[in-house]
């Protein structure tokens, strides 16, 4: 049966999200996220309904402006779906959001962006109080591209340690406030780091339900394969209470995230494991975000597909190219990639690691990307020849 496994599950506590419950031995819940503008009530309700029809247990929407928050009562009135809200950077909207949703997700790394002088503990207390008063659950969503700077600095290059430390700190803060209706996620675009981070966290806090995901997994089928690698290793060890397969697909295909999640769970339950590909980490790796309400240009998914197409000739090179949909997460989340693209409304920013190469029109960026890729391959070959 989908959502159940042959393997013993970690003894996590039960956390109710609207009409579904995660943890405490409940079936693993499968989630997806709307990529519509949240203030566009018609489009958002339509996508929520599409995802429900596809079998979503929880549907997430992003809220990062008062205009988005103001749309929530109308959205709530038209759906009984279990709704989670991603607060993005604006944690202060929690009080306005909580009456209309079932779960609030905040990113510890983003709490530092607003009201810098206010202690993090106070901000978490504000979030917990808003959730408690309205019967909402919370997800502490730690992400590799936006780790709390203090944690990132403390562990140097060990991003996994920084993520785990941040998740443990916020779990302790919520516990200290007497708020236990929360789960945690530790996401990275590298499935091996996702496995490592979740195993370390689960060893320290086996009681806290975990939301699993490989962020920016990218286009299917590669994005599904990367996610499967992580989920197989975690779910078979009893780790994971809810999950999302994040795919770069157009809005009308978002239901594929649910289908992929159910298929992976079903395969694990039946003991059907795919082995880890031999060339993992040794071939071209394209990571791309699943897009959300913040995406700056509707051409984003098309751009990600074209990037895959024009770079296919480099498939045997261990090069990572990141394609991101917006200016908020784009710059930071492309820093670790060899080449990165992030979208603005009328142009695309092209980067080499953390250095910006320039901004280009949507119709000219691909040829520039290809020249940069050729240059990178040539410089690596030269370095190998000299060694």
Question: Is residue 81 close enough to count as binding ligand SF4 by CB under 6 A?
Answer: no
Dihedral (CA of 139, 129, 124, 10) sign: negative
Position among 168, 202, 225, 289 found at the interface with ligand SF4 (CB under 6 A): 289
Binding region for ligand SF4 (CB under 6 A) out of 44-52, 165-173, 196-204, 323-331: 323-331
Structural contact between residues 195 and 221, judged by C-beta atoms closer than 8 angstroms: no
d(CA 256, CA 198): 24
Least gap, CB of 228 to ligand SF4 (angstroms): 20
Q: State both tokens at 300.
A: 């984003």
Position among 32, 38, 291, 297 found at the interface with ligand SF4 (CB under 6 A): 291
Binding region for ligand SF4 (CB under 6 A) out of 92-100, 255-263, 310-318, 321-329: 321-329
Least gap, CB of 199 to ligand SF4 (angstroms): 25
d(CA 205, CA 198): 10
d(CA 21, CA 174): 19
Question: Is residue 214 close enough to count as binding ligand SF4 by CB under 6 A?
Answer: no
d(CA 193, CA 69): 34
100 vs 294 by CB, closer to ligand SF4:
294
Instruction: Show contacts with ligand SF4 in window 326-365 (CB under 6 A).
Output: 326, 328-330
Dihedral (CA of 291, 285, 242, 162) sign: negative
Least gap, CB of 300 to ligand SF4 (angstroms): 7
- # of chain residues touching ligand SF4 (CB under 6 A): 12
Least gap, CB of 86 to ligand SF4 (angstroms): 8
208 vs 323 by CB, closer to ligand SF4:
323
Instruction: Show contacts with ligand SF4 in window 91-110 (CB under 6 A).
Output: none
Q: List the Cα angle 124/126/127 in 5-degree steps.
A: 65
Question: Is residue 144 close enough to count as binding ligand SF4 by CB under 6 A?
Answer: no
167 vs 289 by CB, closer to ligand SF4:
289
| Neighbouring residues of 90: CB distance < 8 A, sequence distance ≥ 6 | 63, 64, 65, 114
Strands (E), the chain: 15-17, 20-22, 29-33, 58-62, 83-86, 103-106, 137-143, 182-187, 211-212, 242-244, 285-288, 320-324, 339-343, 348-352, 355-360
d(CA 223, CA 256): 11
DSSP per position, 224-270: HHHHHHHHHHHHTTT--SEEE------GGGTHHHHHHHHHHHHHHHT
Question: Is residue 292 close enough to count as binding ligand SF4 by CB under 6 A?
Answer: yes
Give the three-class secondary structure for 121. helix
Least gap, CB of 76 to ligand SF4 (angstroms): 22
215 vs 242 by CB, closer to ligand SF4:
215
Least gap, CB of 35 to ligand SF4 (angstroms): 8
Question: Is residue 210 close enough to count as binding ligand SF4 by CB under 6 A?
Answer: no
Question: Is residue 17 close enough to count as binding ligand SF4 by CB under 6 A?
Answer: no
Position among 97, 324, 348, 373 found at the interface with ligand SF4 (CB under 6 A): 324
d(CA 227, CA 216): 10
d(CA 349, CA 41): 30
Instruction: Show contacts with ligand SF4 in window 23-62 (CB under 6 A).
Output: none
59 vs 324 by CB, closer to ligand SF4:
324
27 vs 255 by CB, closer to ligand SF4:
255
Question: Is residue 75 close enough to count as binding ligand SF4 by CB under 6 A?
Answer: no
Question: Is residue 295 close enough to count as binding ligand SF4 by CB under 6 A?
Answer: yes
Question: Is residue 319 close enough to count as binding ligand SF4 by CB under 6 A?
Answer: no
Interacting residues toward ligand SF4 by CB under 6 A: 289-292, 294-295, 324-326, 328-330
């Amino acid at each position: 049966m989908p959502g159940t496994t042959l393997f013993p599950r970690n003894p996590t506590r039960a956390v109710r999200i609207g009409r579904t419950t995660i943890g405490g031995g409940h079936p693993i819940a499968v989630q997806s996220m709307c990529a519509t503008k949240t203030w566009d009530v018609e489009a958002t309700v339509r996508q929520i309904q599409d995802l429900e029809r596809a079998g979503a247990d929880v549907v997430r929407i992003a809220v990062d402006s008062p205009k988005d928050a103001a749309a929530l009562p109308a959205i709530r009135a038209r759906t009984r779906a279990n709704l989670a809200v991603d607060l993005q950077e604006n944690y202060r909207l929690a009080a306005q959001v909580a009456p209309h949703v079932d779960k609030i997700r905040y990113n510890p790394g983003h709490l530092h962006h607003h009201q810098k002088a206010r202690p993090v503990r106070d901000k978490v207390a504000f979030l917990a109080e808003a959730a408690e008063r309205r019967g909402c659950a919370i997800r502490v969503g730690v992400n590799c591209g936006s780790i709390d700077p203090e944690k990132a600095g403390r562990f140097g290059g060990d991003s996994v340690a920084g993520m785990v430390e941040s998740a443990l700190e916020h779990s302790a803060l919520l516990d200290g406030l007497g708020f236990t209706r929360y789960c945690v996620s530790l996401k990275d675009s590298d499935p091996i780091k996702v496995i490592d981070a979740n195993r370390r966290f689960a060893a320290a806090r086996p009681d806290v339900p975990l939301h699993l995901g490989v962020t920016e997994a990218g286009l299917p089928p590669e994005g599904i394969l990367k996610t499967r690698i992580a989920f197989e290793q975690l779910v078979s060890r009893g780790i994971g209470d809810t999950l999302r397969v994040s795919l770069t697909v157009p809005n009308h295909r978002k239901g594929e995230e649910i289908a992929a999640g159910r298929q992976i769970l079903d395969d694990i339950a039946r003991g059907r494991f795919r082995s880890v590909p031999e060339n993992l980490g040794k071939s071209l790796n394209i990571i791309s975000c699943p897009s959300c309400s913040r995406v700056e240009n509707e051409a984003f998914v098309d751009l990600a597909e074209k990037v895959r197409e024009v770079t296919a000739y480099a498939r045997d090179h261990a090069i990572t190219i990141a394609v991101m949909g917006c200016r908020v997460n784009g710059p930071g989340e492309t820093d670790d990639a060899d080449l990165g693209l992030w979208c603005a409304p009328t142009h695309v920013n092209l980067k080499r690691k953390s250095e910006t190469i320039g901004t280009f029109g949507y119709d000219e960026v691909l040829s520039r990307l290809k020249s940069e890729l050729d240059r990178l391959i040539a410089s690596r070959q030269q370095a190998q020849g000299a060694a």
